[in-house]
């Protein structure tokens, strides 16, 4: 059986553990913020004083360890290399009339039409048509992209990435791949 003194002690503990009704829970947070801001200001003013008080560096008369070596020269450019820089070589006329490229364009155009139909189906909420047209479009666009991958790398090597014809080809292939990415995200596998 609990004694009356034990009950009195329990009720006193309960009163001490309960939060005070008049104190807002935001006050401790405000105190912490004031301390942090004050500390930041103190640090900032302390570093300014140190910077003003610091004497200017004095040039030393000590010899430098590598003064006896000749000045370093940049590496010489090897023949036939771009040296990591963009270069423009004159591409031959009809570069974009390559038979493989034209075949890839025809396949990609078919894929683009199917892609447009898939986008329209998604807009209408027709999932079955989206999956059907999207899968066909993805196959066509992937085929066109794969057909020209090695050729694009060869063009980069021969004519550089700043050549206008090469840029047009890269832009076209990038558009194909952007459509393929959208299709991968939008259609069922």
**Does residue 17 surpass a pLDDT of 60?**
no
Q: What is the pLDDT of residues 65-112, one digit of tens each?
A: 877 888 877 766 554 455 555 555 666 666 777 888 999 999 999 999
CATH architecture of the domain 99-186 equals Up-down Bundle (1.20)
Residue 166 CB-density burial (10 A; 0-12 exposed, 13-18 middle, 19+ buried): buried
Confidence of residue 134 (pLDDT cuts 50, 70, 90): very high
User: What pLDDT, on a 0 to 100 scale, did the predictor assign at position 92?
Assistant: 67
- Nearest CA to 121 out of 130, 112, 132 is that of 130
Q: What is the pLDDT of residue 156?
A: 82
3-state secondary structure of 70: coil
Q: What 3-state class would DSSP assign to 84?
A: coil
The pLDDT, as a whole number, for residue 118 is: 94
In the chain, domain spans: 99-186
Cβ pair 152, 164 in contact under 8 A: no
User: Which is more confident, 122 or 60?
Assistant: 122
Q: Are 151 and 173 in contact (CB under 8 A)?
A: no
Location of structure tokens 């832009």: 171
pLDDT at 79: 47
Distance of CA 128 to the CA centre of its chain: 34
Q: How much is the pTM?
A: 0.52
Query: Distance between CA atoms of 172 and 102, rounded to whole angstroms?
Result: 12
Average pLDDT, whole number, for the chain? 79
Instruction: Name the pLDDT band for 175 (thresholds 50, 70, 90).
Output: very high
- Using pLDDT thresholds of 50, 70 and 90, give the confidence band for residue 54: low
Helices (H), the chain: 4-17, 26-53, 99-124, 127-147, 149-159, 164-186
């Amino acid at each position: 059986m609990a004694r009356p003194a034990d009950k009195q002690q329990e009720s006193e503990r309960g009163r001490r553990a309960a939060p005070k009704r008049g104190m807002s829970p935001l006050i401790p947070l405000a105190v912490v913020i004031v301390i942090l801001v004050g500390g930041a200001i103190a640090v900032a003013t302390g570093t300014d004083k140190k910077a003003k008080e610091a004497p200017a560096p004095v040039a030393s008369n000590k010899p430098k360890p590598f003064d006896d070596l000749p000045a370093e020269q940049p590496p010489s450019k090897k023949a036939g290399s771009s040296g990591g820089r963009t270069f423009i070589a004159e591409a031959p006329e009809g570069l974009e009339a390559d038979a493989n490229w034209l075949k890839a364009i025809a396949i990609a155009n078919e894929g683009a039409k199917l892609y447009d139909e898939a986008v329209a189906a998604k807009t209408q909420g027709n999932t079955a048509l989206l999956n059907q047209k999207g899968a066909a479009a993805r196959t066509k666009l992937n085929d066109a992209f794969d057909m020209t991958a090695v050729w694009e790398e060869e063009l980069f090597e021969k004519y550089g990435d700043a050549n206008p014809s090469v840029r047009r080809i890269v832009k076209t292939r990038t558009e194909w791949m952007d459509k393929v990415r959208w299709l991968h995200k939008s259609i069922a596998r």
